[in-house]
Amino acid sequence: MSERDAERSVSQTVRAQLALRDMILSGRLRPGERISELQAVDITGVSRTPVRLALVRLEDEGLLQAIPSGGFMVKAFTERDILDSIELRGTLEGLAARFAAERGVSARSLEPLKECLGDLDQLVRQDPISVEAFSAYVTMNARFHALLNELSASAPLIREIDRVSALPFASPSAFVMAQSALPEAHQILLIGQDHHRIVVDAIENREGARAEAVMREHSRLAARNLRLAIRNRTHLDLLPALALLKSSAE
């Protein structure tokens, strides 16, 4: 295989992976639904070899489960599965913040994180916050977390954070849009933004234990948001991936 063909295969694999992941997280592929390679080819318009690799990657992410008879099945998740994933992300992001603080970060390297913090401040000052502002917050919040993780200067750690964040509901902004319809929505964002300010201050002042503790507490806010999203099932249209969640009776 030529280098160009190899690059094309990788590109097709990523395209198929993203398309199938979107269908799962949007609820268009339901828990327990079987997906064969041929079905995935039809869905994505990508050839079988890249599709096969995409399906295996989604199995690695925990979204699919291989079936002994062949093909894959969309997995369902318990509330405990998701809470554990959020806790794991918080532990890893806490370690990233600790590394950044203890190893030291230059003022220049910290500047993009501070700029992002300022942009988030502008959004959360709005009261009430519009749906459009919540949508912008999702993007900026993801950027804040990515910038913070990069400051750890640890490629293995960043890789594991990316891996766990790909799990359903485990990303930093997984529940932001769902909470936008809640009466306490603004207060939730204010608390989260306080955490952001504290961790930036801790990193700047090289307080590793403080930075780590704040990020772990920050993930617990996401766990609280999960419980709110489950309790307020009238807003399922804002979080269609809740279809992947098993009821406690199952």
Predicted confidence (pLDDT) per residue in 26-43, tens digit:
788 889 999 999 999 999
The answer as to whether 16 is a domain residue is yes
Phi, psi values for residue 78, rounded to 5°? -90, 165
64: which strand partners? 74
Its domain, for residue 211, covers 79-244
User: Is there a single domain that holds both residue 86 and residue 70?
Assistant: no
CATH number, position 110: 1.20.120.530
CATH number, position 66: 1.10.10.10
> What pLDDT sits at residue 1?
46
Per DSSP, 247 falls in state P
> What pLDDT sits at residue 227?
79
Q: In the listed set 25, 53, 74, which residue is the last one of a domain according to the structure?
A: 74
Nearest CA among 42, 175, 183, 161 for reference residue 99: 161
User: Is there a single domain that holds both residue 119 and residue 209?
Assistant: yes
The radius of gyration of the chain from alpha carbons, rounded to an integer in Å, stands at 19
Q: Are 35 and 16 in contact (CB under 8 A)?
A: no
The answer as to whether 250 is a domain residue is no
Low-confidence ranges of the chain (pLDDT < 70): 1-10, 175-183, 229, 232-242, 247-250
177-224, pLDDT tens digit by residue? 666 666 677 888 899 999 999 999 999 999 999 999 999 999 998 888
> What pLDDT sits at residue 170?
82
